[in-house]
Amino acid sequence: MTKKVVFCGEKNICLNCIKYASNNKDCEIIGVFVSENDWEADISSFCNEKNIPVFRGNPNQYLLNEDYDVIFSIQERRKLSKEIINKAKVGAYNLHFGKLPEYRGCHPIAHQILNKEKYICATLHEMTENFDDGDIIEMTGVYNHKYMTAKEAHIELSYAACSLFVSYFDAMLNNEYYSNKQDINKADYYRKDAIDFEKESIVDINDKDFLTKIKAFTFPLFQYPKISIDNEITKFNIVPNGE
């Protein structure tokens, strides 16, 4: 039986998941809620080509009177209400770029790098009215190698997370999977202001965690770290290979 599906989100990971779902015969995408400030992907253009309805408003208002089976939140910044989540007849799912429950909240890639995690993880989980809460379906990750920046981790994790979504898509459509409760004793939530990028991205060259911080704060388009040498601050730029 064909399932009515809603997507909410942004960036390449969301676009690629929508592309996959749009080719699934058991899935009818009845709406995609996009961000006004998506710096990475043009989801609207793809949806327009496929005649998929696109919305730019708040899904908590638009979906009140809609009928749908599944809702996916993929890099969605807005908090979906309990009512909207519970309206999904089959399930509501989130794809979070952090290891759960340890890295709930904002900037999970940067925090995972700063905490020197061996792997930078993404988690596919059921949704509740609380951010990054709900039972865990599966997790994936990319190796946090010595020189991996936050931007590089974001790109690699986007591919890995999309593969995770694809591998569980049919199971989520039909609610046929196993999940595990999050261990509340390990849970940690990072607020948006947990990192003051303007201040903390200034890294002293003698800092014992110099390289780790350089990696965590390197995300072109948003920020580069700055190096402090004898109280003189220099902007740090990473030159791509071959340039």
Give the model confidence (pLDDT) of 167-224 as tens digits.
999 999 999 999 999 999 999 999 999 999 989 999 999 999 999 999 999 999 898 8
Confidence of residue 240 (pLDDT cuts 50, 70, 90): low
| Alpha carbon distance 66, 170 (integer Å) | 22
96 vs 30, 44, 159, 164, 230, CA distance in Å?
Answer: 23, 22, 13, 12, 39
* 95 CA to centre of own chain: 6
**Which residues, 6 or more positions from 165, have their beta carbon under 8 angstroms from its beta carbon?**
17, 20, 74, 95, 124
Q: Is the link from the previous residue into 101 a cis peptide, with omega within 30 of 0?
A: yes
Q: Within 13 Å of residue 121, how many CA atoms lie on the same side as its CB?
A: 19
Domain ranges in the chain? 3-190, 196-235
- Level-2 CATH architecture, domain 3-190: 3-Layer(aba) Sandwich (3.40)
Asked if residue 243 has pLDDT above 50, the reply is no
